Structure 1
């Protein structure tokens, strides 16, 4: 793997901090900023809108699930109705993103209404 493609540097208060893509749990929009929630580290406030980060992160690993949220697919633990769980965090699954999100996974068993 090319080292430049598995990480990024994010401005955090007074310096650029290295963040591996695998550390990012989810991103949460906050007007023209967003919060980058990280595994085993405090979240970072990023001075960019979610749409800009969406374009810069690998689409194979990250996907938009709501107008205000983007998740790292490797950290999704559970899907229940229109809610995604990463650890104890509940993340809404917006209707416009539902089909594309569900298509990224293989589901075993059947639950009425899961797939349309």
Structure 2
């Protein structure tokens, strides 16, 4: 094989290795009607809308994703990992063990939040940021 033929063959192999499947490129970007996440439960992937997530609770090496219908999904992830993965605009960290969907808050005080009859503590570290966010988004009358 000549040097030119070899270099052409190698270049073709490299180009095909880094090319993208045309079926994938033809369908990008894909948009959905509602931002969602698929959660694996019992060998099935269940679609859960971000808007249906009420809060996320850390439980050791697992987290509980709780929806507005009080359905609970258990995932083996840290709360920090899921917070970074979701990147939800309406989901806020209020405690080292809790993320809450601000749209699901029924009432709150300086120390706790009520969502679907669940009382969630607000950590001292998170109180000021939480109150600032609430005041920025909603009208708060003291």
After TM superposition, the score normalised by the length of structure 1 is: 0.86
Which of the residues 108, 113, 122 maps onto 1:79? 108
Q: Runs (4+) of structure 1 moved beyond 6 Å?
A: none
Report how many residues are paired: 109
Moved more, 11-20 or 36-45: 36-45
Deviation, 1:41, is 5.1
Aligned counterpart, 1:102: 131
1:57 aligns with 2:86: yes
Kept in 1: contact 2:57–2:99 (CA 8 A): yes
Distance 1:59 1:86 in 2: 18
CA distance in 2, matches of 1:98, 1:5: 30
Aligned to 1:114: none
| 1:32 match | 61
Match of 2:32 in 1: 3
1:74 Cα shift? 0.7
**Alignment TM-score, normalising by the size of structure 2:** 0.71
TM-superposed CA distance for 1:40, in Å, is: 1.9
Q: SS state of the match for residue 83, structure 2?
A: helix
* C-alpha RMSD of matched pairs (Å): 1.6
Structure 1 gap ranges (5+):
111-116
Higher helix share: 2
User: What is the match of residue 48 of structure 1?
Assistant: 77
Distance in 2, matches of 1:59 and 1:96, equals 20
Give 1 or 2 for the bigger CA radius of gyration: 2
Per the alignment, residue 11 of structure 2 pairs with none
More relative contact order in 1 or in 2 (CA 8 Å, sep 6+)? 1
Match of 1:70 in 2: 99
Higher-strand-fraction structure: 1
Which of 16, 19, 32 does residue 45 from structure 2 map onto? 16
Shift in Å at residue 108 of structure 1? 2.8
